[in-house]
Amino acid sequence: MSKFKLTYFDFNGGRGEPIRIAFHAAGVDFEDHRISFDEFMKTRGDMRFTCSPELEVDGVIVTQSNSMLRYVGKMAGLYPEDDLQALFCDEAMGAVEDLLHHIVHTFGLEGDELKAAREKLSDGWISVIVKGLAEILQRGGGEYFADNKLTVADLKVYMQIRSLRAGTLDHVPTDLVDKLAPSLAAHEERIGNDPIVTAYYAAKGS
């Protein structure tokens, strides 16, 4: 049995949380190593690509959250075996990564500079990607992004849309998703109530 250690920030969201859920769904034990932002800033210079999360598999460290999510998703039966459906799954996950790339560039800004950057982001890339995700959700049948069932793509999109609707980003309207893509808002609620997701949070006690 392989030994797994996932290193990510100490909160229930972001790039690491879908991987945690997939591990739980697979019934695979892993070390959930949670770090503070200060710890990350002190150690990021030693991290490959200076980014988190990192996954250690039997002492071998790998990076890139979508790669990890595919890997663990296969263990959990949450990644499509059909090549086309896998492509659809990857497209949705890639779109979220594109969005996160733009969001991260606003971190560290303050005051009017932050407000202006987030408003520009809301009107620009967030709107573009939210609308695009709604299109490919419809292509998948309206309930899931691929395979007509829950996949890691749903987990990743769920986490990001939940964050947007919860107001975790200052100056980004919490009703933006509901206005632009009601189907994505409904998807977030559906995935949040999925037995796999609720079982994970029940086990964590949160």
**Mean pLDDT over each residue of the chain, to the nearest integer:** 94
Residue-wise pLDDT for 94-139, tens only, equals: 999 999 999 999 998 999 999 999 999 999 999 999 999 999 999 9
Q: What pLDDT shows up at residue 29?
A: 96
Report helix, strand or coil for 81: coil
Going by pLDDT thresholds of 50, 70 and 90, the confidence category of residue 51 is: confident
Q: What pLDDT shows up at residue 206?
A: 64
Residue-wise pLDDT for 138-192, tens only, equals: 999 999 999 999 999 999 999 999 999 999 999 999 999 999 999 999 999 999 9
Q: What pLDDT shows up at residue 39?
A: 82
Average pLDDT over residues 42-66: 85
Residue with token string 């739980």: 24
Contact 197, 146 (CB under 8 A): no
Q: What pLDDT shows up at residue 112?
A: 97
Angle 152-166/182-192 helices, nearest 10 degrees?
110
Peptide bond into 18 cis (omega under 30): no
Q: What is the C-alpha separation between 136 and 133, in angstroms, rounded?
A: 5
Q: What pLDDT shows up at residue 170?
A: 95
Residue-wise pLDDT for 13-38, tens only, equals: 999 999 999 999 999 999 999 988 78
Average pLDDT over residues 71-88: 98
Q: What is the C-alpha separation between 174 and 166, in angstroms, rounded?
A: 6
Q: What pLDDT shows up at residue 158?
A: 98
**pLDDT at residue 4 is higher than 80:** yes
Q: Which residue segments constitute the domains of the chain, with CATH numbers given?
A: 4-77+197-204 (3.40.30.10), 83-194 (1.20.1050.10)
CA distances from 38 to 15, 35, 41, 115 (A): 18, 8, 5, 24
**pLDDT at residue 40 is higher than 80:** no
**pLDDT at residue 5 is higher than 80:** yes
Going by pLDDT thresholds of 50, 70 and 90, the confidence category of residue 75 is: very high
